[in-house]
Amino acid sequence: MMPVSRQPVKPAMEISAFSYQKFVRFTLEQTQSRIDLIPLPLQEKYKCMKAVDQKTMLQTLSFQAPKIRMLRSLTIEGGQSMQVLDFAVFPEPEFDLPIFCANFFTAASMNIIVLDLNPLHDVTVQREYREKYYKSLMPLGQKYVELLPWGDKITSESLRFFSPIVIWTKFTSSQYKHDVLYSAFVDYFKAWLELMDHAVAETNASQILRNQEAQHKYLTWRAEKQDPGHPILTRLIGDALAKDLVRNFLFNGVATLGSKSFLDYFPEYRCEDGTINKRRSMIGKSFETRPWDASGEYIGNEL
């Protein structure tokens, strides 16, 4: 019998770095199948940037549509060492729709994940708003409560910007977890699109102004306190461009949707000399466990 010639064993393929590009592709396909997305001129300026290390790539996309003031995405691809997705959809002020928020940071082995339909108005005190949007979404939130469990204490101030279905989790990288995350992202984005489809424009001027101010407060919070993202962006593209990217791209609207300052909204951060306290949190970190029950009722400490 002829000896069976054996193929030399191939060297183990390097596991290619995980990428968030397919998440972004999904959102564009889904959205475009329902409405026309119009590219914003913003995206030309920041389209594709190479970091100072000459390896890490930053890519942005931004669009508008009839009910959408801005749909934007930032992806950072640094091979095995870092992958970031910062994806958000901001409605026009005529709509009190939640803000879609996916903020995923993946380092060599650790993932830090926030996925939510961030409420435009405070759901811990505004019951009506909670009922309007989150009552029917609670089963969706429950679907991932065990698969993507609460990720330990967080900056307490952040909680007011989160909804009862927020996915706040940390995990070490594995194909399985990334598949679960993708599935959650798909479900949450489809849920947001459904809300958008049914949203009816507000005509009352004072209500529109109220929505606009709420969005401005949100933008002001994230543009100022999105550390620890800031130092990483600064390291990658330098201080000036990082600041520009945060204010004019990621949280575009912070300079135009309202005139209040960070300290007007968050006076507790005022230092004696009138500057903004550099600390990320004045209250500190808390919420060791999920502070909402399965029906969306807030069960945490008083905020």
Q: Is 148:113 a contact under the CB 8 Å cutoff?
A: yes
CA distance 66 to 119: 20
CA distance 21 to 91: 23
Cβ at position 45, least distance to ligand BLA in Å: 18
- Interface with ligand BLA, residue 19, by CB under 6 A: no
CA distance 159 to 45: 33
Token look-up 């003031």 returns 69
Cβ at position 54, least distance to ligand BLA in Å: 18
The correct pick among 49, 71, 84, 254 for binding ligand BLA (CB under 6 A) is 84
The correct pick among 83, 103, 111, 173 for binding ligand BLA (CB under 6 A) is 103
Query: What's the Cα-to-Cα distance from 127 to each of 132, 134, 217, rounded to whole Å?
Result: 9, 10, 20
In the stretch 220-239, what mask flags binding to ligand BLA with x, by CB under 6 A? --x---x-xx--xx------
Size of the site for ligand BLA (CB under 6 A): 20
- Scanning 9-17, 100-108, 175-183, 191-199 for contacts with ligand BLA by CB under 6 A, the matching segment is 100-108
Q: Which of residues 273-292 bind ligand BLA (CB under 6 A)?
A: 285
Cβ at position 194, least distance to ligand BLA in Å: 22
Cβ at position 101, least distance to ligand BLA in Å: 5
The correct pick among 61, 154, 219, 242 for binding ligand BLA (CB under 6 A) is 154
Query: What's the Cα-to-Cα distance from 7 to each of 1, 15, 23, rounded to whole Å?
Result: 18, 21, 37
Q: Which of residues 41-80 bind ligand BLA (CB under 6 A)?
A: 76
DSSP 77: E
The pair of structure tokens assigned to 26 is: 């999904």
Q: Is 54 left (phi over 0), alpha (psi -120 to 50) or beta?
A: left
> Which amino acid is it at 247?
R
Burial of 187 (0-12, 13-18, 19+ CB in 10 A): middle
- Interface with ligand BLA, residue 161, by CB under 6 A: yes
Cβ at position 4, least distance to ligand BLA in Å: 52
Token look-up 């749909």 returns 71
Judged by CB, which is closer to ligand BLA: 63, or 87? 87
Token look-up 């790539």 returns 57
Judged by CB, which is closer to ligand BLA: 155, or 248? 155
Cβ at position 109, least distance to ligand BLA in Å: 13
Tell whether omega for the bond before 149 is within 30 degrees of 0, i.e. cis.
Answer: no
Cβ at position 245, least distance to ligand BLA in Å: 9
Judged by CB, which is closer to ligand BLA: 84, or 254? 84
The correct pick among 49, 114, 137, 219 for binding ligand BLA (CB under 6 A) is 114
Name the nearest CA neighbour of 187 among 233, 148, 132, 244. 148
The pair of structure tokens assigned to 184 is: 């959650």
The correct pick among 68, 101, 120, 196 for binding ligand BLA (CB under 6 A) is 101
DSSP 175: H
Judged by CB, which is closer to ligand BLA: 138, or 232? 232
Note the residues at the interface with ligand BLA (CB under 6 A).
76, 84, 86, 101, 103, 105, 112, 114, 118, 154-155, 158, 161, 222, 226, 228-229, 232-233, 285
